[in-house]
Chains A and B, each alone.
Chain A
Amino acid sequence: KAGVTQTPRYLIKTRGQQVTLSCSPISGHRSVSWYQQTPGQGLQFLFEYFSETQRNKGNFPGRFSGRQFSNSRSEMNVSTLELGDSALYLCASSLGTGLASSYNEQFFGPGTRLTVL
């Protein structure tokens, strides 16, 4: 099976712009979770989508949003970019059994490295 893919791999934006990142999960996986990784804050959970619905959400401002399509592919959007949004954004897919993605092992994509200037 093909692994989790994320596009683009690298992105450079300026403050105030918006960005959309894409994630294609492993075939058959219905849950997609997004994480932000920074040197200072480490890995932080953004949100999880399951069957096109946001099932869980982390403590991030409303500028961070996402969606999931019927084929389980997911996108996340960050509007009005700030310098502090520079990070590695990781997407993970899992089968989705249980109440949350955290119930099962998660399969991570290579990440999108976003730099905000």
Chain B
Amino acid sequence: SQQGEEDPQALSIQEGENATMNCSYKTSINNLQWYRQNSGRGLVHLILIRSNEREKHSGRLRVTLDTSKKSSSLLITASRAADTASYFCATDDWKAQKLVFGQGTRLTINP
């Protein structure tokens, strides 16, 4: 079953613009993670944010977590063509003790 639901499913922007993706989930979590996947390849870990954290930064990435709304957002600033990929949020379902991935947001950066 999918717990994380990403929004939008697809996003197309111009290079240099900011991209924002949202993730909503249903149950209590220990942490929420964001991953990137280039077409047909393995996933690359971007950021892990724990349930007691509200915001985290890594380079051009900013992740927020609102546990009261059960939602998270990933902001990519000053986008580049190389950011074109699918982005997945994954929640740590502490009861099932596994990562549950959303369906992903397909991001396209146009030059």
Contact A103 B30 (CB under 8 A): yes
In the complex, what distance in Å separates the CA atom of A58 from the CA atom of B45? 21
* Interface membership of B97, Cβ < 8 A: yes
Task: Report how many A-B pairs have Cβ atoms within 8 Å.
Answer: 64
Asked whether B42 is an interface residue with its Cβ less than 8 Å from the other chain, the reply is yes
| Contact yes or no, A43 B88, CB < 8 A | yes
What separation, in Å, do the CA atoms of A108 and B90 have in the docked complex?
A: 14
What is the minimal beta-carbon distance from A99 to any residue of chain B, in angstroms? 6
Segment from B14-22, B73-81, B101-109 that makes contact with A = B101-109
Which one, B93, B99, B102, contacts A42 given CB within 8 A? B102
Most buried by B among A56, A99, A105: A105
- Distance to closest chain A CB from B30 (angstroms): 6
Least CB distance, A5 to chain B, in whole angstroms: 10
Closest B residue to A88 using CB positions: B40
A109 at the A/B interface (Cβ < 8 Å)?
yes
Shortest distance between the CB of B98 and any CB in chain A (Å): 4
Decide if B41 is an interface residue (CB 8 Å cutoff): yes
Question: When the two chains form their complex, are residues A105 and B33 in contact, meaning their CB atoms are under 8 A apart?
Answer: yes
- What is the chain A residue whose CB lies nearest that of B104? A42
Q: Which residue in B31, B41, B99 is a CB contact (below 8 Å) of A110?
A: B41
B43 interfacial by beta-carbon distance below 8 Å? yes
Which residues of the other chain, A, contact B92 by a CB distance below 8 angstroms? 100, 102-103
**B: which residues have CB within 8 A of A?**
2, 30-31, 33, 35, 40-45, 48, 88, 90, 92-93, 96-104
In order of increasing CB-CB distance, the 5 nearest A-B pairs are A100-B97, A43-B101, A108-B42, A102-B92, A102-B99
